[in-house]
Structure 1
Amino acid sequence: MAGSGNFMGEWKLREEMCEVGRRVYNKGFAAANDGNISYRLSEDRVLCTPTRVSKGFMKPDDLCIVDLDGGQVSGKRKRSSEILLHLTIMKHRPDVKSVVHCHPPHATAFAVAQEPIPKCTMPEFEVFLGEVAITPYETPGGQAFADTVIPYIKDTDTILLANHGTVTAGSDLMDAYFKTEIIDAYCRILLLTKPLGGPKYYNDHKAAELIRLKPGIGVRDVRLELGLENCDLCGNSLFREGYHESFRPEPNAFVPDKLQQAVQQVACAMPASAPASKGEGPEFESMVQAITEQVMRALGGAAAPSSNGSGSYAGSC
């Protein structure tokens, strides 16, 4: 009887994974055979979607079971080619039960543009997702690709995979999937604001109020653990110091107010003769240095390389 109960529990999880697959496909988050979904069945067994099968048309017995090293344990179809990404997340986050990877178009647009997700625009996004990191690009499928999430996954459940898509982690299948819905809906709203002049930002104080609400609904935010006092919550990124010198995403389409103000202040202070330098000579280099220093001061020194050498953020807000 115990064995029968375990079988029925797993079968329900298989049915739920197929339902998540249908939602991913019907939402347009995964074209053709794109995307993959996983669920941690036990300490060393993970249920996952098969490769080269549309997420919209999976059946429960199409799904596979792998061990934590990616070796296939059971299943009539071959496991997802990108399961190593899921397993890497689970190894570094014992609390994560499910992972969803797909290509929601609006969020993926930010990933392809390597545009950081702006904050301080919508309360729902701040409360249910919060900080979102961007990984450097790597060829999908291998361990090198999976390892790109390691510096960030301990502090966020939602990550943009540069030039690729999104990956979201959760306490169950629906939790992981709903985070995908939220990030794509938020990115769509942001893109819709562009013809209207772009988003208007609320301030750090209001952002801190929202972050303090999160423990009450069971949502962790590492910024609470670091302390919110004197933090640049709207203009800075928790993960900025975790980016490498060769990969440091900077805002282009959605520039925080503080950065815009700093650039405007420097532009107003520039000598009238500055354009004549045409990008050459010591005068131009001094001007660039002055702009850089003032912008960095406005961002609280956010662009300084991480001093902890770990590839993760240095612990400042």
Structure 2
Amino acid sequence: MSTIPQLEQLVAACHWIGAKGWAPATGGNMSVRQDRDYCLLSESGKDKGALRPEDFIQVEIATNRVPSGRRPSAETGLHTLLYRLFPEAGAVLHTHTVNSTVLSRVEKGSAVVLQGYEMQKTLSGQTSHLDAVAVALFDNDQDITALALRIAQFAEQTPLRYGFLLRGHGLTCWGKDVSEARRHLEGLEFLFQCELQRRVLEAR
């Protein structure tokens, strides 16, 4: 597999994510769109902070078929779903951070609503701290096919933007390219940390 520029950028982003401790113990998975029909997805069981281009597996977006027969991430179906839902999406990042995991359990509703934070403007299209940004929250499921179906049904009724949370699991976010996906990840993680600390302080 020849290395495409976006894959090189994704590898660098994975090393950055690993250095931050956002994908511990081989957790998380990352992908980049190769073209209209295929994406390149991180292989299961690999340390995300030490990934190389050859650790990414070609997956058919429409069917989840892996031409090479190798084993991609367990959450392959979530990545391919996002590429189908958002033809403009060029990269998907899924991390297991403390802030997103804990906040997803503290919040009992169907979304974490962020408002009043200047850093909301790190999210594409957001221009004011006054806007309310709702990050959808889904109950976790080991059946990825069923989980992907629930997310797809939700997206038919309510726009999904930037990312979503899985309860007790972590954040999945995307962007038009690796750079935007990485910015959304960093921005959302900052916002989640602020929101979690705000709730702790207000509960005292």
TM over 0.5: yes
**Structure 1 unaligned runs (5+)?**
1-5, 199-252, 254-317
Total equivalences in the alignment: 189
The separation in 2 between residues aligned to 1:108 and 1:138, in whole angstroms, is 14
Decide whether the 8 Å contact of 2:11 with 2:52 is kept in 1: yes
Instruction: Confirm whether residue 100 of structure 1 aligns to residue 103 of structure 2.
Output: no
1:134 to 129, 133, 137: 137
Q: CA deviation at 1:194?
A: 4.4
Instruction: Confirm whether residue 18 of structure 1 aligns to residue 20 of structure 2.
Output: no
SS in 2 for 1:138: coil
Q: Kindly report which structure 2 residues correspond to 1:31-70, keeping only aligned pairs within 5 A, or say none.
A: 31-68=24-61, 69-70=63-64
Q: Counting strand residues as a fraction of each chain, which structure ranks higher?
A: 2
1:144 to 146, 161, 171: 146
Instruction: Confirm whether residue 166 of structure 1 aligns to residue 168 of structure 2.
Output: no
Which structure has the greater CA radius of gyration? 1
The separation in 2 between residues aligned to 1:139 and 1:97, in whole angstroms, is 26
Which whole-Å deviations, capped at 9, do the CAs of 1:270-316 have from their partners, x for residues lacking one?
xxxxxxxxxxxxxxxxxxxxxxxxxxxxxxxxxxxxxxxxxxxxxxx
Task: Output the aligned Cα RMSD.
Answer: 2.3
| Equivalent position of 1:202 in the other structure | none
Q: CA deviation at 1:174?
A: 2.2
SS in 1 for 2:26: coil
Which whole-Å deviations, capped at 9, do the CAs of 1:233-276 have from their partners, x for residues lacking one?
xxxxxxxxxxxxxxxxxxxx6xxxxxxxxxxxxxxxxxxxxxxx
Which whole-Å deviations, capped at 9, do the CAs of 1:173-231 have from their partners, x for residues lacking one?
12112212111111212233346x43xxxxxxxxxxxxxxxxxxxxxxxxxxxxxxxxx
Find runs of 4+ consecutive structure 1 residues off by over 6 angstroms: none
Q: Tell me which amino acid in the other structure corresponds to 1:18.
A: V
Which whole-Å deviations, capped at 9, do the CAs of 1:13-68 have from their partners, x for residues lacking one?
33222111111211111111101111111111111110000100111112111112
> Structure 1-normalised TM-score?
0.54
Instruction: Confirm whether residue 117 of structure 1 aligns to residue 112 of structure 2.
Output: yes
The separation in 1 between residues aligned to 2:194 and 2:162, in whole angstroms, is 21
Q: Kindly, what percent of the aligned residue pairs are identical?
A: 22
Q: Summarize the Cα distance change of 1:149–1:177 in structure 2 as closer, same or farther, 3 Å threshold.
A: farther
Q: Tell me which amino acid in the other structure corresponds to 1:73.
A: P
Decide whether the 8 Å contact of 1:132 with 1:158 is kept in 2: yes
Q: Which has the higher contact order (CA 8 A, sep 6+)?
A: 2
